[in-house]
């Protein structure tokens, strides 16, 4: 299972801490927000240009931008829900001339509605947008690479893919989530680092353990995640390779997962898993 060099200059908030993932090609600061959200400051190390993903607490974003001494040019909105897009209006008032990207007219302060597979640059970083409708009809994931870099790519998945879980199907179907997780995100390089919208890892892994009680990878990951959360530290990023070993929603082709829900079709397995997860009572331990 992959491990990451995460700067231990963990900045204390009330309970949860932010952290900085440093690569030669980019830096990503994880900024905790609300009770369990994450905002992400994406920095191009070559040009010092930056983007912010889902800035629901704009004051924290401005502080991080000033601390790093970067030029914030872009807001990347994954979907319109208030806990992701609700800070956009204030963000553009605090820092005028920001471009606000999204794939849904319901995104606050949107300046550019991006089509599927649309690409653009943040400094020297290449951003590709993948439409992943299901949680909302206008959900988008942002995939970040750099030309000629040997460093892992990053993908900001909002409420489509979580560590060990996926978002609720508020405006979509099992077929759509299957396409999003298996056909779109699942086709990206396995080393791609996953930056999701919420800190749901412990509860997600408890459900994963319920689905696959004999999966030792899940048990080890859960113990690790509990320790991280007890220390106020993030369990993000994950990798796509790791998700394939413990995330039941990315393991819908596995017999052990299909047997749990008594299905043989991956899509029907996805549907049954989500229905069960929606009413799953997380055990207290």
Catalytic residues: 79, 81, 83-84, 135, 159, 198
The answer to whether 238 and 198 are in contact (CB under 8 A) is no
The answer to whether 196 and 161 are in contact (CB under 8 A) is yes
Q: Which residues contact 282 (CB under 8 A, 6 or more apart)?
A: 203, 206, 207
Length of the chain equals 285
CA distance 43 to 196: 17
* DSSP-assigned beta bridge partners for residue 32: 38
Burial of 12 (0-12, 13-18, 19+ CB in 10 A): exposed
The answer to whether 112 and 104 are in contact (CB under 8 A) is no
CA distance 66 to 79: 26
């Amino acid at each position: 299972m992959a491990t990451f060099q995460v700067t231990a200059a963990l900045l204390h908030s009330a309970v949860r801490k932010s952290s900085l993932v440093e690569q030669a090609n980019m830096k990503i600061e994880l900024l905790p927000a609300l009770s369990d959200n994450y905002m992400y400051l994406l920095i191009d190390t070559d040009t010092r240009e930056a983007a912010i993903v889902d800035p629901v607490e704009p004051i924290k974003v401005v502080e991080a931008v000033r601390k790093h001494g970067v030029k914030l040019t872009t807001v990347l909105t994954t979907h319109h829900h208030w806990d992701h897009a609700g800070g956009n209006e204030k963000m553009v008032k605090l820092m005028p001339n920001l471009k606000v990207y999204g794939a849904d007219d319901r995104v606050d302060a949107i300046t550019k509605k991006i089509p599927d597979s649309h690409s653009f640059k943040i400094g020297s970083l290449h951003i590709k947008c993948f439409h992943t409708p299901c949680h909302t009809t206008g959900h988008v994931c942002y995939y970040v690479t750099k030309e000629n870099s040997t460093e892992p790519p990053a993908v900001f998945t909002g409420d489509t893919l979580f560590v060990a879980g996926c978002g609720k199907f508020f405006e979509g179907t099992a077929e759509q989530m299957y396409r999003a997780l298996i056909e779109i995100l699942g086709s990206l390089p396995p080393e791609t680092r996953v930056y999701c919208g919420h800190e749901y890892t412990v509860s997600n892994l408890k459900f994963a353990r319920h689905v696959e009680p004999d999966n030792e990878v899940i048990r080890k990951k859960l113990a690790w995640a509990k320790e991280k959360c007890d220390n106020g530290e993030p369990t993000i990023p994950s990798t796509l390779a790791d998700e394939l070993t413990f995330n039941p929603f990315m393991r819908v082709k596995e017999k052990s997962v299909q047997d749990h829900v008594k299905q043989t079709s991956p899509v029907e397995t996805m549907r049954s898993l989500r229905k069960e997860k929606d009413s799953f009572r997380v055990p207290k331990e």
